[in-house]
Amino acid sequence: MRHGVTVDLSTENRTLGSLSGKMIALGTTLAVLGLIGTLALGNLEGAFGGHEVESSAAAHDAGSHGPIHGFVTEWSIWHPYLVSACFFLTMTLGGLFFVLVHHITNAGWSTVVRRLAEGVSRNVVLMALIFIPLVFPDSMEALYKWVHPDPGDEIIAVKSSYLNYNWFLIRLAIYFTIWITFAWSYHRSSVAQDRDGDVQRSSRMSRMSPVGVALFAMSVTFAGYDLLMSLDAHWFSTIFGVYIFAGCVLSFHALLALIVVFLQANGRLTRAVSDEHMQDIGKMMFAFTVFWAYIAFSQYMLYWYANIPEETIWFVRRQSTWMWSFWSWVMVVGHFFVPFLFLVSKHIKRKRATIALGALWVLAMHWADMYYLVMPQISNGTEFPFTMIDITILVGMAGIFIIGLALSLRGHSLIAEKDPRMSESLAFENA
Amino acid sequence: MKRLLEALKPILRPELTGNAESPEVDNTAYSPDSRVDLITGGNDNTTITDKVCSIVEDKPTIGWWGFFLLAFSVLGLLGIFVPFLIFWGVGTWGVNNPVGWGYAIVNFVFWVGIGHAGTLISAILFLFRQKWRTSINRAAEAMTIFAVICAGMFPGIHVGRAWFAYWMFPLPNQMELWPNFRSPLLWDVFAVGTYFTVSLLFWYMGMIPDLATLRDRAKNSVRKIAYGALSLGWTGSNRQWHVYERSYLLLAALATPLVLSVHSVVSFDFAVSQVPGWHTTIFPPYFVAGAIFSGFAMVLTLLVPARQLFGLKDVITLKHLENMNKIIMLTGMLVGYAYSQEFFMAWYGGVKVEKFAFINRAFGQYAWAYWIMVSCNVLAPQIFWFKKMRTNIWVMFVVSIFVNIGMWFERFVITVTSLANDYTSSAWDYYTPKLADVMIMLGAFGLFFTLFALFCRFLPFIAMSEVRGVLADQAHSREAALARHSSEADSASGSQGEN
Amino acid sequence: MNAEMNGSVEVHTITAETATDAKAVLMLAEFETADQLMDAATSMRDKGFKLWDCHTPYPVHGLDTAMGIRPTLLPWIVLCGGITGFCGGLLMQGWMNAVDYPFLISGKPFFSIPASIPVAFELTILLSAFASFGGMLALNGLPRFYRPHFRSDRFRRATADRFFISIDGRDRQFDIGANSRFLRDLGANAVEVIEE
C-alpha cells in the first residue's frame, strides 16, 4: 500500500471499444454452431419427435421394477440443457455475490475488477431468458417427475403443496426478480458514479448490501432445491444450498480470472489489474476449492456413515455403475486435489497463462459437477447419457453468454472510474 | 528536568496508568474515501508500549482483584464437585436412560464453540487483511485457549472412570487394543487436541516479540528471567522477522481450515448418527457459524469491561466493537438460516420421525428452551441493523450475554430434545439436571474467567508489535490523504478559472 | 561505558566487565524512524555488508527488499510436515483398526476413506503446524538467550519504539571508524560498539 506505485489511469485502455464487436461475433458464431450442432445431433439422437409417451412409460417401468426404488426420468434434450443453464446461472450469481460482498465489507483490493463482476452479474437477465424454455409444461415434465408423480407416491403427496407447477413458476419468478433487481441497480449505481463521482453512492450501496446478501442466500438455496435437488424429489439434504453456493463463488472467480486474462491479452486494463490482484483472485479460487470440498465431503460422509436408504440412494445411483463411479472420482480428484495442488503456489496465481489454465480447469470441473448433479437422475443412473448434445448446448450457451457479457460491459468504462477506493485498489500489494 | 518529567508522566498523562479513563472516540463514521483510524487518541509506538505494558507492570487494580477473586471462588465449585463426581460416578448427574448425554456434552460443545472466535480473529481475519484484528487478537486467542481447556475437561470427567481418560489416545497398552478410529468421538480427540496445540503455538508465537518488550522493560530479576526465557532471545532482527512472518502466515493458513474442521468434527458426533434432529447434512457449517457467533459474543463480554478497566478505549475502539457486532449479526443470521433449513427439510424430506423431532423441539416439553434459543440467537442480534445500537456499549454488552445464553441453550436443545424423544416412544423421559451438573457448569465459567484474569495480569494484553504496524500504516495513509487533498485543491483552484 | 571521539563521530563503547582481551563484536546504530532505517538499509546492502541486520519493534513492510533478504525455505518444510501427517494418519488408522487388531463395529468396513479423513486431516494440520513453528525456530536460531545486543541499554528500545542496524564484528567490512561515520551519515542518532 505504502510503497505501491500509483497507476496512471489516463494512459490505460479501459473501455471495451472494438473488442465488443469481436466478442459479439465470436458469441454469435458459437451460438449458431451450438444451435446447428444441437439440432443436427439431436435429430440423430432422436431427441426431438414424438417418443415422449414411450419414454414416460419406460420411466414408470423402471420406477416400479428397478432394483432400487428411484425417482428418475428418461433422457430428454432438457437434461443437458439444464446442466448448461445451471452452469452459467451459478457463475452469474457468483458475480452478484462478489459485488454484494465487496460492498458489505467495504473491500479495497477488488475495486479494480468490480465492474467486470457487475457486468457478469447483469447477465442474469440473459439467464432468465435461457430458463424460459425450461418452464414450459413439456420440458418440466421431462425433467421433474413431481410434475406428474406416480399414483400412490406418498412421499410426493406430502410435499405437493411445495412441489407443484404453479408455485414452482412463482418461486422462479421471485428468485430472478431478486437477482435482476440487485444486479441491475448495483451496476447502474456504479456506472452513474463514473459520471458524477458521488461518494454517497458507495455508502448507499454498502448500506443495502446486507439485505442483498440475505436475500441472495435464501434465493440461491431454494433455487438449488427447486432446480437441481428436486430432480430426485424423494431425496433431501439440508446442505444442498450451501453446496450450490460454493459452486457459484468458485466458478465466478475462475470466470473473472479468464475475463481479465482475455481483456489484458487484448490490451485492456493491462496495468490497472496487476499481478497482485490476480494473486487475490487465485487465492479466492483456492479457498473456494477447499470450501467446496469441505461441503461436498460433509454431505457425503454424513449420508455414508448413517447409511439410511432414502438418503444414500442419491449416492448409490452415482456409484453403482463404473461410469458414474469414475465420474465421482473425477469430482474428488479433479474438482479438489488437482486445483488444490495447482493453485497453492503464488507464482502460478500471478502468471497469466497458468492462472488462465487453472481457471479453465476449474470451470470444466464445475460443469462436470453440474453434470454429476443432473445426469445420474436419468434411468436410475444405470446409463451413461453422455452425447455430443451436452457439448453443443454448452457451446451455444457459451456463445450467448459472451454476447451478453459484451453488451453489458460496453458503453462504459471497464473499471469503476471514480470509486473512492480506486487509488487504494490500484496501489494494492499482497504484504 | 527530564527526570522530573519522567516521574510526573503518570500524573500528567493519566491514561497511561492501568485503570485510568481513556477518552471514548467515535471513529465509526462511514467514510468511503478513506480508512478510519483504528487507533485513536494520538497514540504512537511509545505510548502504545507504555499503555499495554503498564497493565502488567503496575500494581493490579481493585477492579482486577475483585474480578479475579470472584472468578477464583466460582472455580472452587469445580474443586468440590469434580472429586465428588469422580468418587460417586456419573450417577451424581441427571442423565437418565434415553438422555445419556446431558450437561457434560452441552458444556463441551459450548466451550469448544467459544474458542472459535479467537482463531477466526487471529487466522481468518489475518488472511483477509483485516487490520482491526490487531487490537483484539491477543485477548481473543487467550480466550480460545482457556475455552478449549474448559471444553477438554468435560470429556475427561464424563468418561466415567476419569483415571482411564488416556485410553482416548492411541497408546500401546498391555491388551494390545487400539481406539476405534471409526468413531466420531475419537475424531473429536484428534480435532480438539490439534486445535488446542495449534492455537497455543499460534498464540505463543504471536506473543514472542511482545514478551521481548516486557523483558526489555523488566525492572526486577524475576520478570527478567521469566520474560527473558519466554521471549527466546528475540531481538527484533529483520532476518528473523522475515521467517517469523512467513511462519505466522503459514500457521494462519493452517488454522483456517482447522477452525472449520474442529466444530465440524464436533457436529459429526451428532450428525453421523441416525437420531432424528441430529442427522442432517447442514450440521458442519451450521456448527461452525454458531461457534464463531458464540465466540464473538464471549470476546465482547470480556473486552467491553476490559477496555474500560485497563483504559484501552483508544486501542480497542468503537470501530473494533462495531465490526465485531457486525460479525455477530452475520453469524447469527447464518445460524438462523440453518434453523430454517432444518425445519424446512424436516417437513420436505417427508420422514415422519424427523418432522416430529422438530415440532417437538418448538412445541413440546422443551419448547421453553427452544424459544430462549431462537430469541437470543436469531432475534436479539437483529438490533444490530441499527448503527446507534451496534455502537452502544451497553446494548452490545447485553446482547453478547444474550448470545452466550442462547448458544448454550442451542446445544442443550440439540442434545436433550432429540434424545429425550427418539424412535422408541415407550422409552421417552424428561431430563432434569442435578446439583452437580449445574455446579460443574458454573465451575467451568470460574476456571475460564480465572485463567483470563491471570492472562491480563501477566501477559501482554494487546499484540503491541502488530498494533505498531497499524500505526505506521495509519501515518502513511494520512500522509497520502494530505497529498491527495492538496492536489485536489490545486486542481479545484485551477478549474475555477474555467467556470 | 566510555565515550570516545572517533574522527568527528561520537561512539559509545560497551565492554564486558569480565572481558580480559576486549574485542569489538558488534556495532549498533540507532534510528528514530522506520523510513530512515529503510534508506539506511538500502545503503548498507549496496555497500556490500554481509553479516548485518536491522532490528525493528514491528515487521517493517518493504524492509526485506531493502535489505535484500532471499525467500525462506520454510514453506517446503511445512509441506513435508503436512504430507507426513496425512500419510501417517491414514497408515496409522489402517494399521491399527484393520491390520493389527481388526474388530468389526456397527458394520463399518475395517478401513474406509470417508471415516479416515477427519483424523488424517487433523494430523496433517498438526504436523504442518509443528513444522512451521519448529522450522521458524530452527531457521532463526532460536532460542538463543545470550546475545551481545543485550549489553546495550539503548537497544532495549528496539522492541518498543526505536530502530537499529547492527553489524557483526566478523563482517569483512567491519571497521569502527569508517562504519560509524557511514552510519552517522545515514542518519543514526547514536552509534555503539559492544566489546567482549
DSSP A152-213: T-HHHHHHTTTSSHHHHHHHHHHHHHHHHHHHHHHHHHHHHHHHH--HHHHHHHHHHHHHHH
| Most B-contacting residue of A302, A315, A421 (CB-CB within 10 A), to test interface | A302
Of the two residues B10 and C27, the one the predictor is more confident about is: C27
Chain A residue numbers touching C39 (CB-CB < 8 A)? none
| Most B-contacting residue of C32, C76, C132 (CB-CB within 10 A), to test interface | C132
> Could B251 and C129 be called an inter-chain contact, meaning their C-beta atoms sit closer than 8 Å?
yes
* Closest by Cβ to B264, choosing from A240, A298, A431: A298
Instruction: Provide the 10 A C-beta neighbour count for residue A147.
Output: 17
Distance from CA of A218 to the nearest CA of B (A): 8
- DSSP annotation of A73 reads B
pLDDT at A384: 77
Taking residues B2-30, report their average pLDDT.
56
- Asked whether residue A430 carries a pLDDT value surpassing 80, the answer given is no
- Asked whether residue A61 carries a pLDDT value surpassing 70, the answer given is no
Q: Is the Cα dihedral A242, A288, A247, A213 positive or negative?
A: positive
Selection from B105, B92, B140 nearest residue B120 by Cα: B140
Distance from CA of C31 to the nearest CA of A (A): 20
pLDDT at B490: 60
Please identify which residue in the block is written with the cell numbers 434424545. Answer: B419
Taking residues A396-401, report their average pLDDT.
94
**pLDDT band at residue A398, thresholds of 50, 70 and 90?**
very high
C192 in Cβ contact with C27 (< 8 Å):
yes
Amino acid of residue C76: W
pLDDT at C8: 52
- DSSP annotation of B237 reads B
A68 in Cβ contact with A316 (< 8 Å):
yes
According to DSSP, the β-strands at C52-55 and C9-15 are unpaired
**pLDDT band at residue A322, thresholds of 50, 70 and 90?**
confident
Amino acid of residue B143: M
* Closest by Cβ to A431, choosing from C61, C107, C117: C61
**pLDDT band at residue A67, thresholds of 50, 70 and 90?**
very low
Taking residues C144-167, report their average pLDDT.
89
> Could C62 and A2 be called an inter-chain contact, meaning their C-beta atoms sit closer than 8 Å?
yes
Q: Report pLDDT digits (tens) over A137-169.
A: 888 888 888 888 777 788 888 888 999 899 999
* Closest by Cβ to B281, choosing from A238, A294, A420: A238
- Residue % of chain A over a pLDDT of 70: 91
Q: Is C87 on the interface with B (CB under 8 A)?
A: no
Helices H / strands E in chain C, number of each: 5, 6
Q: Report pLDDT digits (tens) over B423-472.
A: 888 889 899 999 999 999 999 999 999 999 999 999 999 999 999 988 88
| Most C-contacting residue of B44, B49, B175, B182 (CB-CB within 10 A), to test interface | B182
Q: Is A35 on the interface with B (CB under 8 A)?
A: no
**pLDDT band at residue B348, thresholds of 50, 70 and 90?**
very high
Phi, psi of C191 (to 5 degrees): -125, 135
> Which residues, 6 or more positions from B108, have their beta carbon under 8 angstroms from its beta carbon?
B151, B154, B155, B158
> Could C161 and B178 be called an inter-chain contact, meaning their C-beta atoms sit closer than 8 Å?
no
- Asked whether residue A195 carries a pLDDT value surpassing 80, the answer given is yes
Interface of A with B in 230-249 (CB under 8 A): 234, 236-242
Weakest mean pLDDT among A277-281, A368-372, B127-131, C118-122: B127-131
**pLDDT band at residue A62, thresholds of 50, 70 and 90?**
very low
B258 in Cβ contact with B194 (< 8 Å):
yes
Weakest mean pLDDT among A8-22, A409-423, B351-365, C4-18: C4-18
**pLDDT band at residue A2, thresholds of 50, 70 and 90?**
very low
| Whole-angstrom distance, CA of residue A92 vs CA of residue A280 | 20
Please enumerate residues of C whose Cβ is less than 8 A from a Cβ of A. 61-62, 107-108, 114-115, 117
Chains interfacing with A (3 or more CB pairs < 8 Å): B, C
Taking residues A304-310, report their average pLDDT.
90
Please enumerate residues of B whose Cβ is less than 8 A from a Cβ of A. 30, 32-35, 129, 257, 260-261, 264, 268, 271-274, 279-285, 329-330, 333, 337-338, 341-342, 345, 347-351, 385, 473, 476-477, 484
